[in-house]
Amino acid sequence: MSTGRHDPANAVRRLSVLVGVLSVPAFVGLWELVARSRIVNAVLFPPPSTVAVAVLDWIHSGQFFGDVSASLFRVTAGFAIGATAGIVLGILTGEFRLISSLLSPLFHILRPIPPIAFVPIVILWFGLSETGKLFLVVWGVFFTVWLATHIGVQKVDRGLIRAALMLGTPRRQMLSEIVLLGALPYIVVGLRTAVSISFYTLVAAELAGAFAGIVYRIEIAQQNMQTGQVMGGLAALGLLSFVADRSFAAISERAVWWR
Amino acid sequence: MVAMMHNPLRPAQPLRLVNAPPSASPATAHAIIRVEDLSIVFDAPRGQVVAVDRVSLDVMPGEFVSLVGPSGCGKSTLLNAMAGLERPFEGRVMVAGGPMLGPRPDVGMVFQQPHLFPWKSVRRNIAHGPRALGKSKAEALRMADDLIEMIGLTRFANAYPHTLSGGMQQRVAIARALANQPRVLLMDEPFGALDAQTRAVMQDNLLELRDRIHATIVFVTHDIDEAILLSDRVLIMSAGPGRILRDLSVGLPRPRSSAILTDPAYLALKRDCLDLIRTEGRKAFEQMEAVT
């Protein structure tokens, strides 16, 4: 009989854990080595240590907090407005045929246009103001959430609607409880997709011209050939996006609480 | 009227044709459900389909009436019309003196699937109706707790529906329909999706429950044993278009139990029903063959 120590499946599992833990440090180490070995130009491809110093400088300069909060505000406010509008209009178009006939064709024409393509016209309309940036994020989030809600509402179990009707459920409660909660599993999936879309559109919005923000800082650093700062900005953006996605995943598991 | 009186089967077993106009029976003035010349027509890809064809029937207060017939005979459509979920093409449905223009809280419904709200606990599912009708939260929950005790699910009061078995879910659905204290309870093959053992238990439960709730019950099923065991009257429907073929009174004493399944009177009734349904089933099958 083989003990746990010599069990081949167990050995593979232990090895996998070890490799998983070492994966990122090994990659960073290799990067440091390659960048310092003069195989590549260290100005264009700085080692991680240089990136770390750049990030520390960024924090000490006092700009880090302002940049992160500016970006975070645009993402969260844009997401909140776009998602709320998407859910409300999705319920209306999903539930009322007349409203759907009025709005759905329009939404289906506008939805496939990548939100980033609206940057030029947004600059014409709003200049470099915050409104323009919010507009882009709201635009990107809205269509995803609207479509998910619209489909979710149409997939609500008709049996639940009939049961609710037979119990005398008033019209308003029918929409705000039976239809909304019946569609919630779909809405949550749409919202999670919209989280990453809100970051895409944030990048476009800040590249178009801003006075603060993580992507704005990346662009300034690029113009000054501060490659370490560019990479530090990318890391900060990646971390922020990762945390947003993870926390949303945790929230969405609790959102459909009856499962 | 004439046909009814001269029906040779009538002395032996109370059997009567119901195609006579509703005014024929003197008792109709007190009927709680009156269906008058009801026709329901559906739009189908190949034109219109008559699901219910000029059906008239009366149900007395406190009666337990079953609608039996082959699948597709329109029995569920007829029930939905009584529920206000289906609008008449012709004729009308009156419940407690008023026409059914839409769902009404004094008419409860239990479907083949429980259709419980998955986001609500057993307690809150049952309290949904009273809350919707404007009862206070405390009162609605108190009513729910009483009903939960009646269906024997006290231990599961705070459980979510997906954690319950099919039979338990259907008991909750019945309690939820009863929470609005309906005068009429409509049941559309409520035990059709359950296994045979659970179904037998549910039938016994319903017989018990019925003595305590005083509601008029209309019950759709394709199971003859179930119909005779539970009902005061069994209406046998014919297939496409749906009509009522026979109106059989079940004169078996109450309280009943599954012991009556071997009673000679019961067997005679069942034979009658089976013969009728077999003939009808064959007719429907041949019609379908002819169409396709």
From B160, which residue of chain A is nearest by alpha-carbon distance? Answer: A258
Domain boundaries, chain B: 2-99+219-291
ipTM of the complex: 0.82
* A155 and B CB contact within 8 Å: no
- pLDDT bin (cut points 50, 70, 90) of residue B292 is low
Tokens 């309309």 -> residue: A125
Looking at residue B29, its pLDDT comes to: 58
**What secondary structure letter does DSSP report for A174?**
I
Within the 18-57 window of chain B, which residues sit less than 8 Å (CB to CB) from chain A?
none
Q: Answer yes or no: do A165 and B85 touch at CB < 8 A.
A: yes
Q: Among A163, A168, A259, select the one facing B115 at the smallest CB separation.
A: A163
Is 90 exceeded by the pLDDT of residue B92? yes
Q: Answer yes or no: do B115 and A160 touch at CB < 8 A.
A: yes
Cβ atoms of B224 and B274 within 8 Å: the answer is yes
* Strand B47-59 versus strand B33-44 pairing type: antiparallel
CA A54 to CA A226: how far, in whole Å? 8
Residues in chain A within 8 Å Cβ distance of B189:
none
* B133 and A CB contact within 8 Å: yes
| Identity of the residue numbered A243 | V
CB A27: neighbour CB atoms within 10 A?
11
A9-23, B25-39, B257-271: least confidently modelled range: B25-39
CA A173 to CA B270: how far, in whole Å? 46
| pLDDT winner (highest mean) among B94-98, B135-139, B214-218 | B135-139
From B129, which residue of chain A is nearest by alpha-carbon distance? Answer: A167
The tally of CA atoms less than 13 A away on the side-chain side of residue B31 is: 21
Q: Among B83, B120, B180, select the one facing A168 at the smallest CB separation.
A: B180
| pLDDT winner (highest mean) among A9-13, B22-26, B104-108, B213-217 | B104-108
Beta bridge partners of B43: B48
Cα pseudo-dihedral B281, B282, B285, B291, rounded to 10? -120
Q: Answer yes or no: do B108 and A159 touch at CB < 8 A.
A: no
Q: Measuring CA to CA, which residue among B26, B93, B100, B10 is closest to residue B56?
A: B93
Beta bridge partners of A250: none
From first CA to last CA, the distance across chain A in angstroms is 42
* B101 and A CB contact within 8 Å: no
Looking at residue A5, its pLDDT comes to: 57
CATH number for the domain running over B2-99+219-291: 3.40.50.300
Q: Measuring CA to CA, which residue among B80, B18, B102, B29 is closest to residue B55?
A: B18
Looking at residue B273, its pLDDT comes to: 85
Residues in contact with B85: Cβ distance below 8 Å, sequence separation at least 6, in sequence order? A162, A165, A166, B103, B109
What are the angstrom distances between the C-alpha of A156 and each of A151, A152, A168, A174, A209? 9, 6, 18, 12, 43
Looking at residue A230, its pLDDT comes to: 94
* B182 and A CB contact within 8 Å: no
Q: Answer yes or no: do A181 and B133 touch at CB < 8 A.
A: no
What would the pLDDT profile of B44-88 be if each residue is shown by its tens digit?
888 888 889 899 999 999 999 999 987 778 899 999 999 999 999
Angle at alpha carbon of residue B108, lines to B105 and B109, rounded to 5°: 135
Q: Answer yes or no: do B105 and A167 touch at CB < 8 A.
A: yes
Looking at residue B19, its pLDDT comes to: 42
Q: Among A167, A173, A257, select the one facing B180 at the smallest CB separation.
A: A167
Q: Where would I find the H helices in chain B? A: 2-5, 75-83, 122-132, 137-150, 166-178, 196-213, 224-230, 264-291
* A168 and B CB contact within 8 Å: yes
What are the angstrom distances between the C-alpha of B161 and each of A171, A253, B250, B286? 24, 18, 36, 42
The predicted model gives B243-251 an average pLDDT of 87
Is 70 exceeded by the pLDDT of residue B9? no
- pLDDT tens, per residue, chain A with 259 residues: 445 556 788 889 999 999 999 999 999 999 999 988 888 888 888 999 999 999 999 999 999 999 999 999 999 999 999 999 999 999 999 999 999 999 999 999 999 999 999 999 999 999 989 999 999 999 999 999 999 999 999 999 999 999 999 999 999 999 999 999 999 999 999 999 999 999 999 999 999 888 999 999 999 999 999 999 999 999 999 999 999 999 999 988 888 888 7
| Average predicted confidence (pLDDT) for chain B | 85
Q: Which of A166, A169, A256 to probe by mutation at the B interface, max B CB count within 10 Å?
A: A166
Q: Among B113, B177, B179, select the one facing A159 at the smallest CB separation.
A: B113
Residues in chain A within 8 Å Cβ distance of B103:
165-166, 168
CA A248 to CA A83: how far, in whole Å? 13
What would the pLDDT profile of B110-155 be if each residue is shown by its tens digit?
999 999 999 999 999 999 999 999 999 999 999 999 999 989 999 9
Looking at residue B14, its pLDDT comes to: 38
Q: Answer yes or no: do B180 and A169 touch at CB < 8 A.
A: no
Beta bridge partners of B64: B217
